[in-house]
A and B are shown apart, each in its own frame.
Chain A
């Protein structure tokens, strides 16, 4: 049984207009998306800005309304209780953000920030127990207990992201939705945060829904991934399959666009890019319906699905 199963998720936002402000049409932010995740698995959700990848994450967290579709968690249909504050689901699913600084209350000490979810949802603890719990959480993300009394502004970006991570795992969740968690960080710090993410995952058997635009990071982190474009999945399957055998033209555009760190392959890459661009121009209709909609997914093999007519 998968840990999380999302079936035909749709998130549509109304556009109002006219003199009476009636709903005239909808923006389809997420349009019929299905996937499933096992415990301890990392699923990468890749897409460019406006592809709907963040909205998908938000819908799972109950941060936006769901127009249609179902979400199963541990086999139970929780679609209608996603938004309920006290539901056990909200304890089991946590999040970390790109802009971690704005998600940490600047007037609270690290102790209070990390202990907050425990105070809200967790078991009753004495002050001493609570401090001990926070010390343990800090140790997991490689920070010393002495930082408890400091405030968010006293930390660097990478440290803040680790504090955010400590807070996210305080309730021993089963799933963390990570929305561009390392995009704002410098390379060397990004590496450190990614290492902690992997380490904690193994320790707690966590599942990550890893939302990112960075294919390098996603490839490093994720066993499975889904590529989103125009609110739909264009390709879904195992990372190896998709990287070695990208089938949808959009996926190929995305992969060929990643700068290669080998300068010797420059000419080769440029050629590949222009070939894919030509193909995209010439064969667009093979990959998109007439109205520009991405087709439904078809199975290529057990590990690989592609949107095709």
Chain B
């Protein structure tokens, strides 16, 4: 198996190179650059030229690309943010923790809500409980994430004042204390729930049909013919076999999560990488935007690989190719 993993990682290198080229040149093709955004239209031409020279924007494009890649490979230097005048790595480092926490909690919510609801719906097919859960999935799928986020903000943030409406932590609390952790959680709940909403639908629908199908599988009949009590059959044969493909999908979930957080962080004014990504695009802060896209691509590929490895470990029939 590890041979295959190494091979997948080797294939992954040219993929990332291609992505970096596309990203870099696509960014160049966009109208305007960071300098014009930074100093406005009435700036002095000499001043602009000077700034462009500082950031190397006056060089031929392939040279800029090679310099950028060279910096990454030799010194892990992703360049300087033009808008913030700080190294890109520092800037992202500040935000990465926030996005990581948000993604993690979103993932936890997605599975904590999706798995029990999906299993219940499948096991109690046709009952009122099943119908309520199915109705919930219709509701969740019909509701655009953005609208749901805004409704959340409006009702719980502005009206009831139950949740904070911006930020990742209250600034007045000293870091390191227990209150600090609570405050972080408090800021995370609403965006994470919003992010989890759509993910739960996929899990519920998949699990529900998986459980229904597994109930009728031959090996469940075999288990019944052995005299295994129903509740044990559910635990040992039905649940386990139905949940594994869902859990194995969590690698894909990571890839989706990152793109999902882009909007959610924006709406909740949550200072994470997604929020940074949107502002870097608006500001034409390409060193930042390019690095983030590379990171998203990286996590996407690694997430899928992790998911495949995980599935291969829990399901003996699967060999990674």
Chain A residues at the B interface, C-beta cutoff of 8 Å:
17-21
In the bound assembly, the distance between CA atoms of A215 and B7 in angstroms comes to: 47
Measured CB to CB, the nearest residue on chain A to B8 is A19
> B8-46: contact bitstring with A at CB < 8 Å (1 yes, 0 no)?
001000000000000000000000000000000000000
Measured CB to CB, the nearest residue on chain A to B11 is A21
Residue B160 at the chain A interface, CB threshold 8 Å: no
What are the residues of chain A within 8 A of B7 when measuring CB–CB?
Answer: 19-21
Measured CB to CB, the nearest residue on chain B to A20 is B7
How close is A137's CB to chain B, nearest CB, in angstroms?
39
* Interface SS, A side: loop
Residue B6 at the chain A interface, CB threshold 8 Å: yes
What are the residues of chain B within 8 A of A17 when measuring CB–CB?
Answer: 3
In the bound assembly, the distance between CA atoms of A23 and B217 in angstroms comes to: 38
Q: Can you report 8 residue pairs joining A to B where beta carbons are below 8 Å apart? A: A17-B3, A18-B3, A19-B3, A19-B6, A19-B7, A19-B10, A20-B7, A21-B7
What are the residues of chain A within 8 A of B3 when measuring CB–CB?
Answer: 17-19
Measured CB to CB, the nearest residue on chain B to A18 is B3
In the bound assembly, the distance between CA atoms of A20 and B8 in angstroms comes to: 10
How close is A18's CB to chain B, nearest CB, in angstroms?
7
How close is A301's CB to chain B, nearest CB, in angstroms?
49
How close is B208's CB to chain A, nearest CB, in angstroms?
26
Smallest CB-CB A-B distances: 8 pairs:
A19-B7, A19-B3, A19-B6, A18-B3, A21-B7, A19-B10, A20-B7, A17-B3
In the bound assembly, the distance between CA atoms of A21 and B3 in angstroms comes to: 10
In the bound assembly, the distance between CA atoms of A202 and B3 in angstroms comes to: 58
Which residue among A17, A19, A20 has the maximum number of chain B CB atoms within 10 Å of its CB? Answer: A19
Measured CB to CB, the nearest residue on chain A to B9 is A19
In the bound assembly, the distance between CA atoms of A19 and B3 in angstroms comes to: 5
How close is B142's CB to chain A, nearest CB, in angstroms?
30
How close is A17's CB to chain B, nearest CB, in angstroms?
8
For chain B, residues 254 to 311, give those with C-beta under 8 angstroms from any C-beta of chain A. Answer: none
What are the residues of chain A within 8 A of B6 when measuring CB–CB?
Answer: 19
Measured CB to CB, the nearest residue on chain A to B3 is A19
What are the residues of chain B within 8 A of A18 when measuring CB–CB?
Answer: 3
What are the residues of chain B within 8 A of A21 when measuring CB–CB?
Answer: 7
What are the residues of chain B within 8 A of A20 when measuring CB–CB?
Answer: 7
How close is B39's CB to chain A, nearest CB, in angstroms?
52
What are the residues of chain A within 8 A of B10 when measuring CB–CB?
Answer: 19
In the bound assembly, the distance between CA atoms of A268 and B10 in angstroms comes to: 63
With contacts A19-B3, A19-B7, A21-B7 known, what are 5 further pairs, Cβ within 8 A?
A17-B3, A18-B3, A19-B6, A19-B10, A20-B7
How close is B321's CB to chain A, nearest CB, in angstroms?
9
How close is A147's CB to chain B, nearest CB, in angstroms?
33
In the bound assembly, the distance between CA atoms of A6 and B138 in angstroms comes to: 60
In the bound assembly, the distance between CA atoms of A19 and B10 in angstroms comes to: 9
In the bound assembly, the distance between CA atoms of A20 and B4 in angstroms comes to: 9
In the bound assembly, the distance between CA atoms of A141 and B101 in angstroms comes to: 69
In the bound assembly, the distance between CA atoms of A147 and B3 in angstroms comes to: 57
How close is B1's CB to chain A, nearest CB, in angstroms?
12
> B177-205: contact bitstring with A at CB < 8 Å (1 yes, 0 no)?
00000000000000000000000000000
How close is A268's CB to chain B, nearest CB, in angstroms?
35
What are the residues of chain B within 8 A of A19 when measuring CB–CB?
Answer: 3, 6-7, 10
Which residue among B6, B7, B10 has the maximum number of chain A CB atoms within 10 Å of its CB? Answer: B7
Measured CB to CB, the nearest residue on chain B to A19 is B7
Measured CB to CB, the nearest residue on chain B to A21 is B7
In the bound assembly, the distance between CA atoms of A17 and B320 in angstroms comes to: 12
In the bound assembly, the distance between CA atoms of A18 and B5 in angstroms comes to: 11
Measured CB to CB, the nearest residue on chain B to A16 is B321
Measured CB to CB, the nearest residue on chain B to A17 is B3
Measured CB to CB, the nearest residue on chain A to B10 is A19
How close is A267's CB to chain B, nearest CB, in angstroms?
32
In the bound assembly, the distance between CA atoms of A109 and B7 in angstroms comes to: 48
In the bound assembly, the distance between CA atoms of A161 and B6 in angstroms comes to: 49
In the bound assembly, the distance between CA atoms of A296 and B280 in angstroms comes to: 73
In the bound assembly, the distance between CA atoms of A208 and B47 in angstroms comes to: 87
In the bound assembly, the distance between CA atoms of A20 and B6 in angstroms comes to: 10
How close is A115's CB to chain B, nearest CB, in angstroms?
38
How close is B312's CB to chain A, nearest CB, in angstroms?
16
How close is B12's CB to chain A, nearest CB, in angstroms?
13
Which residue among B3, B6, B10 has the maximum number of chain A CB atoms within 10 Å of its CB? Answer: B3
How close is B4's CB to chain A, nearest CB, in angstroms?
8
How close is B199's CB to chain A, nearest CB, in angstroms?
34
In the bound assembly, the distance between CA atoms of A28 and B112 in angstroms comes to: 49
In the bound assembly, the distance between CA atoms of A17 and B1 in angstroms comes to: 11
How close is B10's CB to chain A, nearest CB, in angstroms?
7
In the bound assembly, the distance between CA atoms of A19 and B9 in angstroms comes to: 10
In the bound assembly, the distance between CA atoms of A18 and B10 in angstroms comes to: 12
In the bound assembly, the distance between CA atoms of A21 and B7 in angstroms comes to: 8
How close is B9's CB to chain A, nearest CB, in angstroms?
10
In the bound assembly, the distance between CA atoms of A290 and B10 in angstroms comes to: 40
> B139-178: contact bitstring with A at CB < 8 Å (1 yes, 0 no)?
0000000000000000000000000000000000000000
